């Protein structure tokens, strides 16, 4: 698609002295108020070089640019050159690209030949898959989708929490209070109840903690009974996790959790020793990071057992050797900021040369109305319960309003789950928020169902005239753009044009909410166009042109929804 900012920068480059071509390109901006033009060029930086007042410079440039066929008009307003594109030029570029590229519209190939690891979700085995996990899960899935859309070869990794002393506690709890049939019937809820009871009883009997440490030590040694219990806990947990992932439409390329790296940590310890980084501290081994204004990184405990940081270093080395990644992305809560800074610095100190390719993408925390969630105390909201309630509420609305759909249950699933995902991705990822049933089940306003409905509305319009639709999509060259020059059509066209930039910015900033907000704007602009204009007119030429714009809007909404991990219903 024609890059208008680039074209404008080229036109300015031959008219402007005192700024490089790159500086000109970076200075060209899009005014927030469309009355100030489609693009604007501020002339303040030129005043010193040209020894001239910025408004006079702007006037000279505006007069020169006015003769270019790209523009409908060019105006000098104070120190700004405001440029208004010819509507037909922009519309032709947008519709040609949307029709030709289809489901790839908005994508790019900048990542061709480069691999990106995206680690996300990563729940703990034998613990609830709760609402707190939704952030890593849906943000990570969207980041993965965006990078794949930009041409990168992505690898989706679910780094399961399937190792550590908590498994000693779980083994002890199961042996004392567990029931196999109960676990097989309700795996996570039963294991959570045992885990909660362990901590309640441990407050009365300190010996339970020692018993748990001994159980984990036997697990680390590969003792048969402990290993079989651990594997059973893992298998039963994954059955429940996979049911939730299926509801969300999410899959993974790797389920290599912490346990996968248990035999790879001696190598890390050897590397740290060789570099002289490993130090003794009260029987434990650490890496001293005081020179970098960080507390020491604990590598092994007094009993020799390893910690998260050791396993993360081992995992990163394995991934670099296995995949040769361009980027290794970690979608993990902001609570872990220090942890990532520490082990990224250790990777750097080891001289591996790719520490800057590892990126921590933090996000804010989810809390309940009465405080933070606690697995130990059993204070959690199961993610599956949230999704099921959203689906059930949607099903009630579908039946009550007699929604036009071939499959009410499927529509309820798509819209209900989509509402939860969209609500999660509608705000900047770094913000904390308090979980609220009322908010997450509110479908009014700028929500996922609103965008999905807009997509379905566009689909409905296109279905009403197959002949005109097929003619419109046969090629933008044959369309008469004068029929879609009204203000609402042009505002919609501009937003569709900016969709690829929104996707690119979302990738650069690891921020799916940029896509979310943009498709809300597209949906609002489409609905205004729909209400302002008679689309299926008697004039075939006019009808074809307007249907081409409807198609471009539908494609943009659909592609944006899919990037977020949502369905794009054809009927609703």
Summarised one tens digit per residue, pLDDT across range 291-305 is: 999 999 999 988 777
For 325-355, give the DSSP string.
-SEEEEE--GGGHHHHHHHHHHHHHTT-S-G
Calculate mean pLDDT across residues 419-429: 93
Q: In the chain, where are the structural domains located?
A: 4-85, 115-367
**Average pLDDT score over the chain:** 92
pLDDT digits (tens, 9 = 90+) for 31-50: 999 899 999 999 999 998 89
Q: How many CA atoms lie within 13 A of 37 on its CB side?
A: 23
pLDDT digits (tens, 9 = 90+) for 235-257: 999 998 999 999 999 999 999 99
455 part of the active site: no
Q: Which of 5, 10, 130, 393 is catalytic?
A: 130
Q: Could you check whether 4-85 and 115-367 share the same CATH topology?
A: no
Q: Which of 87, 127, 159, 546 is catalytic?
A: 127
pTM check: above 0.75: yes
Q: Which of 10, 63, 87, 133 is catalytic?
A: 133
Given this model, what pLDDT does residue 374 score? 55
Please check the confidence at residue 371 and state whether its pLDDT lies above 70.
no
Given this model, what pLDDT does residue 433 score? 81
Fold classification of 115-367 (topology level):
Rossmann fold (3.40.50)
Q: CA–CA separation, 463 vs 460, rounded Å?
A: 5
Any idea how long the chain is? Answer: 572
Calculate mean pLDDT across residues 360-377: 71
Q: 144 versus 444: which is more confidently predicted?
A: 144
Residue 434 bridge partners (DSSP): 367
Please check the confidence at residue 112 and state whether its pLDDT lies above 90.
yes
Whole-number Cα distances in Å, 372 to 193, 377, 432, 435, 533? 19, 11, 11, 10, 50
133 part of the active site: yes
- 4-85: CATH number: 3.30.1360.70
199 part of the active site: no
Q: CA–CA separation, 3 vs 311, rounded Å?
A: 45
* Tokens encoding 336: 């872990």
């Amino acid at each position: 698609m024609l890059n208008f900012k680039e074209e404008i920068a080229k036109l300015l480059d031959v008219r402007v002295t005192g700024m490089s071509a790159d500086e000109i390109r970076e200075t060209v901006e899009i005014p927030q108020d469309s009355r100030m033009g489609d693009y604007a060029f501020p002339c303040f930086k030129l005043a010193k070089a040209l020894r001239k007042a910025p408004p006079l410079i702007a006037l000279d440039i505006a007069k020169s640019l006015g003769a270019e066929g790209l523009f409908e008009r060019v105006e000098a307003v104070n120190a700004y050159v405001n440029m208004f594109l010819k509507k037909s030029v922009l519309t032709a570029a947008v519709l040609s690209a949307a029709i030709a590229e289809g489901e790839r519209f908005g994508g790019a190939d900048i990542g061709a030949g480069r691999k990106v690891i995206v680690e996300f979700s990563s729940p703990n085995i034998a613990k609830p898959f709760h609402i707190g996990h939704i952030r890593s899960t849906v943000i990570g899935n969207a980041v993965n989708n965006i990078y794949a859309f930009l041409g990168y070869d992505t690898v989706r990794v679910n780094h399961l929490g399937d190792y550590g002393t908590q498994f000693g506690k779980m083994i002890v709890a199961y042996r004392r209070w567990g029931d196999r049939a109960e676990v097989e019937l309700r795996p996570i809820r039963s294991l959570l109840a045992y885990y909660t009871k362990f901590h309640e009883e441990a407050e009365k009997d300190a010996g339970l903690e020692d018993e748990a440490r001994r159980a984990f030590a036997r697990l680390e040694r590969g003792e048969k009974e402990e290993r079989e219990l651990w594997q059973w806990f893992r298998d039963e947990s994954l059955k429940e996790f996979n049911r939730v992932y299926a509801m969300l439409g999410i899959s993974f390329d790797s389920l290599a959790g912490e346990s996968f790296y248990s035999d790879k940590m001696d190598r890390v310890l050897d590397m740290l020793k060789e570099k002289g980084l490993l130090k003794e501290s009260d029987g434990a081994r650490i890496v001293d990071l005081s020179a970098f204004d960080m507390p020491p990184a604990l590598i092994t405990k007094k009993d020799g057992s390893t910690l998260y940081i050791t396993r993360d270093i081992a995992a990163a080395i394995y991934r670099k050797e296995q995949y040769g990644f361009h980027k290794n992305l970690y979608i993990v809560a902001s609570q872990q900021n220090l942890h990532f800074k520490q082990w990224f610095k250790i990777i750097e100190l080891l001289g591996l040369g790719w520490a800057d390719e590892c990126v921590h993408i933090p996000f804010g925390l989810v809390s309940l109305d009465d405080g933070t969630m606690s697995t130990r105390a059993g204070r959690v909201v199961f993610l599956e319960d949230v999704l099921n309630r959203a689906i059930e509420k949607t099903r009630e609305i579908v039946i009550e309003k007699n929604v036009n759909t071939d499959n009410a249950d499927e529509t309820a699933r798509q819209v209900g789950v989509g509402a939860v995902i969209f609500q999660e991705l509608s705000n900047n990822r770094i913000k904390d928020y308090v979980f609220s049933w009322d908010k997450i089940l509110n479908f009014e306003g700028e929500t996922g169902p609103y965008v999905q409905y807009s997509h379905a509305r566009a689909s409905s319009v296109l279905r009403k005239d197959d002949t005109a639709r097929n003619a419109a999509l046969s090629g933008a060259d044959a369309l008469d753009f004068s029929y879609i020059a009204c203000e609402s059509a042009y505002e919609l066209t501009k937003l569709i044009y900016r969709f690829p930039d929104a996707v690119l910015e979302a990738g650069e900033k690891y921020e799916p909410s940029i896509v979310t907000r943009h498709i809300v704007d597209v949906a609002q602009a489409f609905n205004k166009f729909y209400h302002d204009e008679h689309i299926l007119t008697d004039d075939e030429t006019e009808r074809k042109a307007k249907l081409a714009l409807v198609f471009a809007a539908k494609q943009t909404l659909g592609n944006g929804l899919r990037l977020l991990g949502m369905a794009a219903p054809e009927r609703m």
